[in-house]
Amino acid sequence: MEYTHLGRTGLTVSRLCLGTMNFGPHTEEADAHRIMDAAHEQGINFFDTANTYGGHGTRGRTEEIIGAWFAQGGGRRERTVLATKLYGETGTWPNEGKLSALNIRRAVDASLRRLRTDHIDLYQMHHIDRDTPWEEIWQAMEVLVAQGKIVYVGSSNFAGWHIAQAQEAARARNFLGLTSEQSLYNLLERSVELEVVPAARHYGLGLIPWSPLHGGLLGGVLRKEREGVRRSQDRQAGVLAARRDQIQAYEDLAAELGHEPGDVALAWLLSRPAVTAPIVGPRTLEQLLAAVRALDVTLDRKTLDRLDEIFPGRRTAPEDYAW
């Protein structure tokens, strides 16, 4: 396993992050525990979850599954850099979502109970809260750091200007502020290159891409379709229809390189500036082990240029759209 620092911090994390969103809705608890054990065996020490994961009507279930795994002991908690999130509604009563100081206080305590731990290593805001001022958010986070309940703070799905706004507000308070940003980023979706990636690099944030295979579209979807193993109902059907030629060219390139398409997609992300660790969200142990293969894939300049031809990227704003 390869390791790096999370952004400008001294925290060391694996170059792959284990995503747990499937634990509960699609992966039974016993299988999820086996996947987490295997992740440690492969050297993955960075796990990501959220307080709303678990499925319809069972929000928080994923954190409970992870907490039960920690409770088995054997250094499981100590060897894990644990990241979770808050923002989404966890109930129907007021103040059971978003980023008010009250919800931050309640949400962290609820996550700690479910996770059966005394602290969260990376506490991430799952979305921007346009109704809560940064002075309130940072004061609440400072209290959690002082109490030892969280160590670092991260964001997810923030725009570049949200990152700048958050960091300048933190700077005024002499607070570390954000250490990471979790964004949708892959070969098919490169919008973050406009402003989010430049903001992350400027402020020293580690970039944690989610959906690195874009819902499976970069994992050999056309080959699987031909082999008859593709699900007939697919929420990505519209994207696939619109970008079939690009995806076919991509799969042809992967075959020419002798690699699985999914391995190429992960290797490409690992080559990108500011990227700390793509999130891989396996439903099965086999999917986890397949993701680890990407660490052995090195893409040369010619291949990177070819990928840019197939999936054109974005230049930094404003040059992307202005002179």
In DSSP notation, 47-78 reads EE--TT-S-TT-TTHHHHHHHHHHTT-TTTTT
Q: Which 8-state DSSP code applies to residue 295? A: G
Q: Is the dihedral of CA 287, 291, 292, 293 positive or negative?
A: positive
User: Which one from 3, 53, 152, 203 is the annotated catalytic residue?
Assistant: 53
Check: CB of residue 114 under 8 Å from CB of residue 75.
no
Residues 176-185 as b or e (16 or more Cβ within 10 Å = b): bbbbbbbbbb
321 is catalytic: no
To which residue do tokens 């940072």 refer? 138
Check: CB of residue 155 under 8 Å from CB of residue 180.
yes
Cβ within 8 Å of residue 214, ≥6 positions away: 186, 187, 188, 189, 236, 239
Active-site amino acid positions: 53
